[in-house]
Amino acid sequence: MSSKVVAVINQKGGTGKTTLTMNLAAGLARRARSLVVDADPQGSAGHWVRMADDRRPFPASVISVAGPLDREVGRIRRDYDYVVVDCPPTMDRASAGAAMSVADVVLIPVLPSPVDLWGSVRMSRGLEDARDENPGLRAFIVVNQLEVRNALSRAMRHALTEIDIPALDSSLRRRAAYRRAALEGCSVYDLGKPGEAAAAEVESIIEEVFES
């Protein structure tokens, strides 16, 4: 299997980049060798795994890289089937730009409000720049913190059609399990029954992006 590098980006803060990164990496680790690259100077992914109970270590390793991100990820990817890069809330060349230049897939979590989505429009330009260098790059918006099933408002659907990045059919609902996983340094797969619905959402994203 050729390795897959996933860049999780959004220049806006707090849209769910780290939450998606960690749960996605945990789901992918059930299938193959997976690694998280923490490209955020805040170090949230690293902090997440340090919350883990020794008896239940996080299922994927988290590393941060010292050198240029694109070069380091290019090197590291040889040893993994999946590398998920958690980016900081910027579109800097050194972080999101570098991650996109070596990624196979970009995932952009957005909150389900048109205002948040408009705040993300500038990313289509960054994506176009990345595609000059990396033409095969696939990119999807992932709606996060959806309140009720199928509750995307008409305004949100319209806003989604205005941005030229396709949205996945699968989304993440707003659930206590996602917060709990962060607090316990685990993934929603590890929470038993209370995490089942969330884990099914992450599975659905994995199937849609990697297996269809």
Ligand X SMILES: Nc1ncnc2c1ncn2[C@@H]1O[C@H](COP(=O)(O)OP(=O)(O)OP(=O)(O)O)[C@@H](O)[C@H]1O
Per DSSP bridges, beta strands 4-8 and 105-110 are parallel
By beta-carbon proximity to ligand X, the closer residue of 128 and 147 is: 147
User: CB 17 → Mg ion: shortest distance, Å?
Assistant: 5
Q: Is 18 in the site for Mg ion (CB under 5 A)?
A: yes
Count of residues engaged in binding Mg ion, rule: CB under 5 A: 3
By beta-carbon proximity to ligand X, the closer residue of 32 and 151 is: 151
* Interacting residue with ligand X among 4, 5, 16, 189 (CB under 6 A): 16
Mention every residue, 6+ apart, whose C-beta is less than 8 A from residue 91.
9, 11, 97, 122, 123, 126
By beta-carbon proximity to ligand X, the closer residue of 131 and 174 is: 174
Q: Is 17 in the site for Mg ion (CB under 5 A)?
A: yes
Q: Is 189 in the site for ligand X (CB under 6 A)?
A: no
* Interacting residue with ligand X among 134, 175, 203, 210 (CB under 6 A): 175
Q: Is 17 in the site for ligand X (CB under 6 A)?
A: yes
10 Å CB burial of residue 149 (0-12, 13-18, 19+) is exposed
Cα three-residue angle 212-105-175, rounded to 5 degrees? 75
* Interacting residue with Mg ion among 23, 44, 95, 145 (CB under 5 A): 44
Q: Which stretch binds ligand X (CB under 6 A): 17-25, 56-64, 129-137, 202-210?
A: 17-25
Q: Which does 191 bind (CB under 5 to 8 A by kind): Mg ion, ligand X, none?
A: none
* Interacting residue with ligand X among 113, 152, 174, 210 (CB under 6 A): 174
User: CB 161 → Mg ion: shortest distance, Å?
Assistant: 27
User: CB 37 → Mg ion: shortest distance, Å?
Assistant: 13
Query: Would you tell me which residues interact with ligand X (CB under 6 A)?
Result: 13-19, 40, 44, 89, 144-145, 172, 174-175, 178-179, 182
Query: Would you tell me which residues interact with Mg ion (CB under 5 A)?
Result: 17-18, 44
